[in-house]
Amino acid sequence: MKKITKDLEKLYLDSCDIYEYEKYIDDNTKALKQRLILKYSNVRCKMSNYICSSNLVFYKEDKFKNSIQKKIKIFLGKEFSVKAGSVIDITRDGEKVRYKNCSSPSIYTNHQEIIAEVFYDVG
C-alpha cells in the first residue's frame, strides 16, 4: 500500500495551502465573527478541471456581468483533515489561485478528492 501511495504522490506537481474558518468574538463589537486560519501549508497536490456549469449573470452597481462557474477536483494525501467549506490556495507553475466552497473529502485507500470552485469577486 505504501508503494502505491508513493507512486500516486509522484503525480502531485502542484502545492496548496489549506485554510479553515474559525469563530471568534470581536473585542470591539462583541459580535461573533469568522476568520480564515492557515491549517496546512505547502501540501503537495494535483488539481484537475471538474465541472464548468452554465453561464451565470450577476448584477452589481447597475451593470451586468457574465461569469462561468468553474469547479475543480483536488487530489491530495488522505493524512490531511480538510473540512467542508475550507478555502484552498493552489500554486501551479508559480501562479496562485484561491478556491472556495470545498466539499467534504471523498476518502479512498491511497488519497482523497475535494471539489472546489474559483473564488471570484463579482464586480
The domain locations on the chain are 2-118
DSSP-derived secondary structure letter, 108? -
CA dihedral 61, 64, 69, 70 (to 10 degrees): -90
Q: What is the pLDDT of residues 60-107, one digit of tens each?
A: 666 666 556 678 999 999 999 999 999 999 999 999 999 998 899 999
- Angle made by CA atoms 16, 38, 112, in degrees to the nearest 5: 45
Dist. CA 62–CA 24, nearest whole Å: 35
2-118 CATH choice from 3.30.450, 1.10.260, 2.40.10, 2.70.98: 2.40.10
pTM over 0.85: no
Q: What is the pLDDT of residues 26-56, one digit of tens each?
A: 999 999 999 999 999 999 999 998 765 555 5
| 3-class SS of residue 9 | helix
| 3-class SS of residue 106 | strand
